[in-house]
Amino acid sequence: MKGIRMDKPLNGQIAVIVGASSGMGRATAVSYAEAGASVVVAARSGEKLEALAAEIGDQAVVCQTDVRDVAQVEKLIQTTKERFGRIDILVYATGTNIPDRSLDNLTHDTWQMMIGTNLTGAFNCTKAVLPIMKEQQAGLIIYLSSGCVQSPDVSGVSYQASKHGLTGLAHGTFKEEQENGIRTTIIFPGLCDTPLVLKRPVPTPPEVVAKALQPQDVADTCLFVASLPSRTRIPELVLLPSGL
């Protein structure tokens, strides 16, 4: 990564941001574009992606994608390859939760939905992007997990299980692919003021939300990780609100 412009640390890089329609993923897409990257933004909501692309400008490409659908994920990666010839960074920011998250209320269907979105979708994206990164002998995959991995809470067993699973995916991928120049980082954000907070069964008090992380805090962290030279790797990074 010689010749990096400090004002544009990702200049010329190609990044795929999965889960870019809102929250941390959206903020990361904007930050990466401002840092000089071309960004392919993916999520289920095409309307929100189009609005994001209009904000970013010519550096953004929209690819509406349901991460649980292998064919759609493969199309996302292939579209990026055809457009830009390579993929330097993949950020998996997709994540969801449900109000009926307790074991008493959790059903087999909602369990499958949670694991499918939060974990299997990350596997689908990883599986699809690896051949391109291996061919390049370079690539960075960033997974956004949750602070509940370090400090178990009442976010629900399906949410916590899926976020724990991302750790195995991230570290296992690196162990298998490090000789191919592929690096992984998993970030564990604490409470963040995103739309996901609205899905809690009991509303979070406003005074607590006021002390939470902002999506831009996570985006800045993703930018920091991606801006480091390829000789470095941050296996894990915990990002917590200082006031909670």
Per-residue pLDDT tens digits for 151-160: 888 889 999 9
Q: Among residues 32, 92, 143, 159, which one is catalytic?
A: 159
Interval 10-37 mean pLDDT? 98
Residue 29 predicted with pLDDT over 90: yes
Record the pTM. Answer: 0.94
Please state, in angstroms and rounded to a whole number, the distance separating the CA atoms of residues 45 and 155. Answer: 24
Bridge partners, residue 120, by sequence: none
pLDDT in tens, 89-133: 999 999 999 888 999 999 999 999 999 999 999 999 999 999 999
Check residue 3 and give its pLDDT.
Answer: 40
> Residues 75, 35, 179, CA angle at the centre, nearest 5°?
60
Beta carbons of 23 and 93 less than 8 angstroms apart: yes
Structural domains of the chain in order of their starting residue, each with its CATH number: 14-238 (3.40.50.720)
Supply the pLDDT for residue 2: 40
Mean pLDDT in residue range 133-137: 98
Residue 5 in this model has a pLDDT that exceeds 80: no
- The label of the residue with tokens 């191919």 reads 180
Q: Report how far Cα 30 is from the mean position of its chain's Cα atoms.
A: 13
Residue 159 a catalytic site member: yes
